[in-house]
Amino acid sequence: MLNKSRVGTILGILSILPVIVSIIFFYTKRGPIADIYLFITIFSVFFIIGIILAGISSRMSIGRISKLLIGLVGIITSLAVIVVAFLLLLAMGSILAE
pLDDT single digits (tens) 2-50? 777 778 888 888 888 999 998 898 889 888 888 888 888 888 899 999 8
Q: Kindly state whether residue 86 falls inside one of the protein's structural domains.
A: yes
Q: Are 67 and 21 in contact (CB under 8 A)?
A: no
The verdict on pTM exceeding 0.85 is no
In a domain, 34, yes or no: no
Count: domains in the chain:
1
32 inside domain: no
**Does a structural domain hold residue 33?**
no
* 60 neighbors 4 (Cβ within 8 angstroms): yes
54 within some domain: yes
Kindly state whether residue 31 falls inside one of the protein's structural domains. Answer: no
- Sorted by sequence, the CB contacts under 8 Å of residue 95 that are 6+ apart come out as 89
Nearest of 10, 25, 5 to residue 74 by alpha carbon: 10
- Write the DSSP symbol of residue 93: T
Q: Any idea what the Cα angle at residue 78 is, between residues 74 and 79, rounded to 5°?
A: 120
> Does 98 map to a domain?
no
The domain of 82 spans 4-26+39-93
